[in-house]
Structure 1
């Protein structure tokens, strides 16, 4: 693991072509007792600085002269593996680039402070510091063991190019109407992608995904997933019904709840309530509402992430008779949420990322 010991401050390198932004980030981090040991103004310089100082974590801008952040991430992960937190502008085009950075080895991202820096400073600082500490705690050996999702553009290509997953016999598939709720945080996007790509279309599941991710990125995340699995994937809309073969992603900045309409069909509601566990959407709220509402087979899956969001939700699903699966320590970038759920005694099965889909389906049919 690359994180600093508990007795020492986290050591960070800040990479950005803007001197103002480097100064701002340094100030925010040092005010929270994060030790900024060096700076770099472009990707090429970043590679040298990281190799020289061996920090616990790097904040990486995307657009820079000489070498951009994407190429720098790839080079650092090849030459001197270090947890990297991307700083992404809050724009649709940057969302796609940010996901590309995650594919290349970055562990997480945070939205870059914009023109509203003064009014948004408390939020910006809190989010940045939390993400820095989380990224510094990532087990890079686990992320390297995690199978990367296929880089495909269409569902047909994904079906052809995806690495083979453990097969599930058709007679062993759960009955139609089964609901699956997946929760993930740091290190989660690629694991979510792999799990969803392994779900057989003929299972006809209704799937809800709560990935801790800021507003403006979950819509692109849904589009990315839609291109890489057999199900129809969209960002969830308030008041919509969800049926078999559909996957809905909790929007960043809203809690996702499961209710029923007058006809008894599952309906999704978006809530603007305060963050829970410091996050919005919160896994606990989606899982708990599903446990209370769903009267057909139900499963909960908790993936990599720091903190305890999802523990109470998994407990509620277990108490409702649902099947629960947690990602194992070996393939978890951060074995925080899964570990706490396991310790709470609400997990039926512990599995590596490549077997989560199979073990979830198996648990629903036994």
Structure 2
């Protein structure tokens, strides 16, 4: 059997120490570091010269910062990029800015800085680098269109939307929420594989981008129509009870599922077990098989199930595993998912 071709990485950081630590970690995990760069300008040049499979990118650097470098690289030589982000509010904001420019995912630096403590997380970092390296970047410039609302479209009572995503997911989730009209009366639960301290900023970003009131989940929180909840980092979000169109949510410290906490499966399974009204389950881009069992559970109770297609997924592993269960009703490009959701909860659609 031929050996798998090693991943070729470019490590970008203005600190020589950080470049050395990250390079050593990746090399120990059989990821070939082809070169390093001290700033964004060098990164742009070396991406053009070396065509690496993946770039790890710092944010704050002299001459050209990480966000500007991401923008240039994604326009000139599209390459999967993993941001190394500070564990701060400012770091979270710049991280989402980088994702908006085309970065695939991010890794929070322990304690706000990469140090020797990062060696305790080397397997996790290497796994994320491999996941990002597998991302498709050539299809990421799809124009998103908001569905045109039909004048006389009406919706079922008390619909609930459940969405799960991982690598490449934040921008897709934001597009979907911003494309759904508030008069749908949806209750929306979102699991995005994302560490603590970033999910609260993600919830605020979504809140400012859509018609729904979006918050980070809290234990015992109750939500009704027009409200959305993002699972907090490092806690599972599950539906505890349901009555008269209102959900009561619970946070769980149960072990990770498919190496993730929060995970999609517990959220979807609990919804299938608890909610008696209309359900729509959506699996978006991401690495791994989280969400496949949740989609099966939803389908067993008559939910409409949707998966993002391969052509628009940064990483198609999660939707592919869901599709392989045979329980997915629709496989759609990301720009078509909002309209598919609206059709699923519509009682009429007359212009």
- Note the alpha carbon deviations across 1:61-116, whole angstroms, 9 max, x for none: 00111111111111111221111100001001111111000111111111124469
Which of these residues, 215, 218, 232, is aligned with residue 237 of structure 1? 218
CA distance in 2, matches of 1:261, 1:207: 14
CA distance in 2, matches of 1:137, 1:286: 27
Paired residue secondary structure (1:270): strand
Equivalent pair of 1:146/1:353 in contact (CA under 8 Å) = no
In the superposition, relative to structure 1, how do residues 120 and 139 fare at CA in structure 2: closer, same or farther (>3 Å)? closer
Residue 360 (structure 1) shift: 1.5
Equivalent pair of 2:158/2:245 in contact (CA under 8 Å) = no
Equivalent pair of 1:186/1:304 in contact (CA under 8 Å) = yes
Matched, 1:203 2:200: no
The residue aligned with 1:84 is 81
The residue aligned with 1:109 is 106
The residue aligned with 1:69 is 66
Which of these residues, 325, 328, 333, is aligned with residue 347 of structure 1? 328
CA distance in 1, matches of 2:119, 2:60: 23
CA distance in 1, matches of 2:334, 2:228: 19
Residue 175 (structure 1) shift: 2.1
Which of these residues, 40, 43, 50, is aligned with residue 43 of structure 1? 40
Spell out the pairing of 1:68-217 with structure 2 (5 A cutoff): 68-114=65-111, 117=115, 121-122=119-120, 124-145=121-142, 147=144, 164-169=145-150, 171-217=152-198
Equivalent pair of 2:109/2:118 in contact (CA under 8 Å) = no
- Note the alpha carbon deviations across 1:1-20, whole angstroms, 9 max, x for none: xxxx9721100000001111
Paired residue secondary structure (2:190): strand
Matched, 1:19 2:16: yes
Equivalent pair of 2:242/2:275 in contact (CA under 8 Å) = no
CA RMSD of aligned residues (A): 1.9
The residue aligned with 2:292 is 311
Paired residue secondary structure (1:208): strand
Residue 125 (structure 1) shift: 1.1
Equivalent pair of 2:164/2:284 in contact (CA under 8 Å) = yes
CA distance in 1, matches of 2:93, 2:316: 27
* Structure 2 unaligned blocks of 5 or more: none
The residue aligned with 2:234 is 253
**Which stretch has the larger CA shift, 256-265 or 309-318?**
256-265
In the superposition, relative to structure 1, how do residues 362 and 9 fare at CA in structure 2: closer, same or farther (>3 Å)? same
Residue 54 (structure 1) shift: 0.8
Matched, 1:271 2:252: yes
TM-score (norm 2): 0.94
Residue 262 (structure 1) shift: 8.4
TM-score (norm 1): 0.90
Residue 121 (structure 1) shift: 3.3
The residue aligned with 2:25 is 28
CA distance in 1, matches of 2:125, 2:154: 43
